[in-house]
Amino acid sequence: MIDSIKDKLYSSGIDATTIKDMIEKADGARKFAYTPYSGFKVGAGLLAYDSDNKPAIITGCNIENAAYSPGNCAERTAVFKAVSEGYRDFRAIAIIAGKGKIADSYTSPCGVCRQVLREFVDPNNFYVIMAKNTEDYKVMTLEELFPMSFGPDNLK
C-alpha cells in the first residue's frame, strides 16, 4: 500500500483492525457466492455508516446466472443491500476473490460496480481494498480506479 494512501485511509478513521474485519467479512460472504459457470468467487465488505454515524460492514457475494447478464457482482450486492437497509454513507469496500477455496488475486471492481459506487461516494475519499487475505492487500481510492467519473454532481 502506498504510504500516502495508507495515511489518508488511517486519518479517515479506517484503521488496521477495521480493514482486517472488512476483509474477514468479505471472505465470509465469498463462501456464499453462486458461481456454477466461472467458479470465480467474490466477496465484498462495504464499510457503511447509518444516520447516527454508527459503522456497519454490509457484505455481498457475486451471483451468476445461466443467461450471464442478469448476474450481479459482490460489490453491487453489498451496495444494494446497504441502500435497501437505509445506509447512504460509504467509506470503503474490501474485495477478496479467486477460484476455489483460496483467494489468490487482487481483484478490483468492474466498471459497472465502479459506477454504482460513484453514485454514493466522493471518489477521492472512498477506499477500495483489494485483498488476498488480511495481511496481503492493496488500497486505492475510487478516483485512482475511476478517473474523471460521472456522478450526481455532474447533473447539478
75 is known as an active-site residue: yes
**The C-alpha cell that represents 94 in the structure block:** 474490501
* Catalytic-labelled residue, pool 75, 85, 119, 143: 75
Cα four-point dihedral sign 76, 111, 129, 37: positive
Q: Which residues are catalytic?
A: 75
